[in-house]
Amino acid sequence: MSGRKIRTMEEFAEAIGISRPTVSKYFNDPESVRKTTRAKIESALKEHQYQPNIFAINQNRKLTKCIGILVPYLADPFFAEMVRLMERRCIDAGFWPILFSAHGEQELENKALATLLSLRPTGALLAPLGRASDLEVIERFTRDVPTVIFDSNVPLGEAFVGSNNFQSIPMMVDYLCRTGEPPCFFEMPPVNPNANKRRDAYIMAMEKLGHDPKVIRVEGRGWDFEQIGLDEGGRLLDERTLPSDTILCSNDRLAIGFIAAAFERGLRVGHGQGCALRVAGHDDHPWSRFTTPPLTTVSQDYTSIVRKSVATLFDLVEGGKRGGERPEILFDGKLILRSSA
Amino acid sequence: MSGRKIRTMEEFAEAIGISRPTVSKYFNDPESVRKTTRAKIESALKEHQYQPNIFAINQNRKLTKCIGILVPYLADPFFAEMVRLMERRCIDAGFWPILFSAHGEQELENKALATLLSLRPTGALLAPLGRASDLEVIERFTRDVPTVIFDSNVPLGEAFVGSNNFQSIPMMVDYLCRTGEPPCFFEMPPVNPNANKRRDAYIMAMEKLGHDPKVIRVEGRGWDFEQIGLDEGGRLLDERTLPSDTILCSNDRLAIGFIAAAFERGLRVGHGQGCALRVAGHDDHPWSRFTTPPLTTVSQDYTSIVRKSVATLFDLVEGGKRGGERPEILFDGKLILRSSA
DNA sequence: AGCAAAAATTTACGTGAGTAAAATTTTTGG
DNA sequence: CCAAAAATTTTACTCACGTAAATTTTTGCT
């Protein structure tokens, strides 16, 4: 029916018989045009399936409709899940979430930030690599783009949203001490501030309970936590140098590897009779309920962290208020008791 | 030193003392400008850290520099890994990979395709939801954008790259029959063509070996394969209706859930003495080496699939040849023998 | 019905680059 | 050393839409 295919807003507007700017207004806020106009546009929209060109839309806009999301490692199910929830919220709010992963590398994080910068996003949700981050680059980025930092608290951006390690770790330590031998702490590679915070929280909690904290440092580097848990855990088990039969791992992925190492050596993990080791994790990764035994852990409050991060960013963006004090919003974890500890 | 900050290519060119189009040429291909000019630009680049605006770049370009990547479910480590490798290759080739996940939902897949379309990408790497896909929408998309389909073979796009289920499954069936009781097949929800192909391949392989194929259909829906494996596997174990003590799961995630179900019931999984069940998977998910016992599975050739998908797309894009025959490139899997079967 | 205020629409110009064609500079050949 | 050819740079126009200001239409009230 319609002659040639409609490619531009100009053609689309002409086909309906109204001016292009009115159509433009419609796309920016359907409520802002008269009801009759809206009806005309919407019926035409069904017929022609026209969609404005994203590049042109954002070319001359004061504020683009895009929100940058950058995570350190997308293949980590924790981040995959966070991203999933964040994308959803952004889309629902009419934004265009645009996703980057640093894949564990500083160079890629910097490149992603540069790309993002040239997109002039309205705001950004940023989980930095942490220790491997180039803080100068991030700092420059945050000067131009309102940014909420999550997960890994580098002292930049307009706000931080994350988990309260100083609540979650002591809670787990309490539980473990109450129900068996005080735990040693199997530390993750210090890729980000959480690593150190969790260790410090462990030490504090143990001392408060009158126990001697025992931290196991680990050689592995990078983000292959399961592999590190398997290799280093295996080494510790072989050398019989573990200072406790209760092992608190600083995250679930490490615990997953550690459990595998224990299994390889015929050691039963769990809190029941005949179990040689208790293993606990932290984060409640999507996979941790499927380990054998299912992993006792602390859940990070995914939903709250995502909701608060996104809400904070939207406030920032709408309010336009920047450079005030920098709130740090921490959510408490919940003890997830399964059978590994 | 430099007065105000440089924001546009115009300002940047002026600061160096050459014309803007020359700078533009440089950014599109540094080799295309005289050596002396290039040196001038590059030294200025260091001083001013200018980066062209992505929206403006792509606004009036014949071919944008962006490549769309769409996967059905990014929280699945298989796709997370594929995406990681693909992004890397696109970046190295000077493209801008832009990532979308359908999060298991048709509506989001369609929305992602629409967004992508409005970006006029040079090409797209598309792993469709499969059964839940709106094929009409995908078809319209592939009319405008050269597309390589991967993982899930819907009959669209310019090429398909994936795994050869009719090689991998029989290979596993052979192995299992050779080393113990012939397997039954624990089917994943039919979310995509792979599900049916793997089942058919199983049936063929069993018949060829003179065994009675036994397929276990499953109620669960969606992409929560581990949960389905746990719930349905548990039900089967409780009802004692499993037709074989060797279970070939149609993917690793299902197997991970099944192993958890077996563990819950005190059943030892493995091929050694005293084991009640053998469990095998398919895909060699990043997690499957950390199950207890480590999962015997078939590896999909991640690297080859990614390399071929990306290479095929680049050929397509550069050659400009479309609408020829539609090659289907299948890679063989490799048997990964661990201790679960 | 008439008129002012409010709302909606249109006019006119801006955005930051790509790109074809024209102009200039550099290289090559005799 | 000079003309022709090749390479490079510049001029001039384009892309598809946002947006402020001007204009028109609608609404609310008397």
What does each C-alpha distance from A57 to A99, A120, A323, B118, B248 come to in angstroms? 19, 12, 28, 10, 51
| Distance D27 C1' – A43 CA (angstroms) | 26
In a domain, A58, yes or no: no
Residue A48: the pLDDT is 85
Q: Average pLDDT in the B35-64 region?
A: 88
CA distance B154 to B72: 13
The mean predicted confidence, pLDDT, of chain B is: 91
- Per-residue pLDDT of B88-98, as tens digits, reads 999 888 888 99
| Distance D29 C1' – A32 CA (angstroms) | 24
In a domain, B338, yes or no: no
What CATH number corresponds to the domain at position A33? Answer: 1.10.260
Q: Is the CB of A179 under 7 A from strand C?
A: no
Residue B322: the pLDDT is 67
Number of other CB atoms surrounding residue B124 within 10 Å: 26
What does each C-alpha distance from A182 to A215, A223, A247, A278 come to in angstroms? 12, 28, 9, 10
One domain, residues B287 and B178: yes
Strand nucleotide closest to residue A36 (CA to C1'): C8
Q: H or E segment at A68?
A: strand A66-71
Pick the residue from chain A with its C-alpha nearest to B55.
A55
Q: Is the CB of A32 under 7 A from strand C?
A: yes
One domain, residues B182 and B261: yes
One domain, residues A260 and A312: no
CA distance A318 to B8: 26
Whether pLDDT at B165 is above 80: yes
One domain, residues B294 and B308: no
pTM of the predicted structure, to 2 decimals: 0.89
Whether residues A55 and B52 touch (CB distance < 8 A) is answered with no
The amino acid at A59: Q
With 0-12 CB in 10 A as exposed, 13-18 as middle and 19+ as buried, what is A103?
A: buried
One domain, residues A250 and A207: yes
Strand C neighbours among A 45-64, CB < 7 A:
59-60
Q: Average pLDDT in the B251-276 region?
A: 93
**Helix orientation angle between B252-264 and B225-239, rounded to the nearest 10 degrees:** 40
Q: Which of B81, B290, B293 sits opposite A230 (nearest CB)?
A: B290
Nearest to A333 by CA among A199, A163, A201: A163
For strand D, the positions having any atom within 7 A of a protein Cβ are 7-12, 14-20, 26
Q: Is the CB of B22 under 7 A from strand C?
A: no
Pick the residue from chain B with its C-alpha nearest to A295.
B260
| Distance C29 C1' – B217 CA (angstroms) | 80
One domain, residues B170 and B249: yes
CA distance A18 to B326: 43
Best A74, A88, A144, A258 member to test B by mutation, with max B CBs in 10 Å, is: A74
One domain, residues B84 and B139: yes
Q: Which of A84, A256, A259 sits opposite B75 (nearest CB)?
A: A84
In a domain, B140, yes or no: yes
One domain, residues B198 and B295: yes
Number of domains in chain A: 3
Q: Which of B80, B96, B120 sits opposite A115 (nearest CB)?
A: B96
Residue pointed to by tokens 């005289």: B34
In this prediction, what percent of chain B has a pLDDT beyond 70? 97
CA distance A324 to B259: 52
Best A51, A54, A136 member to test B by mutation, with max B CBs in 10 Å, is: A54
In a domain, B222, yes or no: yes
One domain, residues B176 and B264: yes
Chain B residues closer than 8 Å to A117 by CB: 51
One domain, residues A174 and A294: yes
Number of other CB atoms surrounding residue B285 within 10 Å: 24
Nearest to A302 by CA among A69, A77, A12: A77
Residue B286 backbone dihedrals phi, psi, to 5 degrees: -55, -25
Q: Which of A101, A256, A294 sits opposite B260 (nearest CB)?
A: A294
In a domain, B141, yes or no: yes
β-sheet bridge partners, residue A68: A98, A124
Residue B222: the pLDDT is 81
In a domain, A337, yes or no: no
The amino acid at A106: Q
| Distance C13 C1' – B299 CA (angstroms) | 59
Chain B residues closer than 8 Å to A64 by CB: 55
Nearest to A148 by CA among A116, A115, A126, A128: A126
Q: Is the CB of A148 under 7 A from strand C?
A: no
CA distance B192 to B298: 19
CA B170 to chain centroid, in Å, comes to 22
Residue A322: the pLDDT is 67
Q: Residue A22 belongs to what domain range?
A: 9-52
Pick the residue from chain A with its C-alpha nearest to B229.
A290
Whether residues B287 and A256 touch (CB distance < 8 A) is answered with yes
One domain, residues B129 and B250: no
CA distance B64 to A66: 18
CA A95 to chain centroid, in Å, comes to 18
In a domain, A57, yes or no: no
- Per-residue pLDDT of B89-122, as tens digits, reads 998 888 889 999 998 899 999 999 998 988 889 9
pLDDT along chain A (341 residues), means of 10: 70 89 91 89 88 90 89 90 92 88 92 89 94 93 93 94 96 96 93 92 96 88 89 94 94 95 93 91 93 94 94 85 83 95 89
DSSP symbols for A133-202: S-HHHHHHHHHHS-EEEESS--S-SSEEEEE-HHHHHHHHHHHHHHHSSPPEEEPPP--SHHHHHHHHHH
Pick the residue from chain A with its C-alpha nearest to B290.
A260
What's the gap in Å between the CA of A77 and the closest CA on chain B? Answer: 6
Q: Is the CB of B54 under 7 A from strand C?
A: no
What CATH number corresponds to the domain at position B119? Answer: 3.40.50.2300
One domain, residues A14 and A127: no
In a domain, A209, yes or no: yes
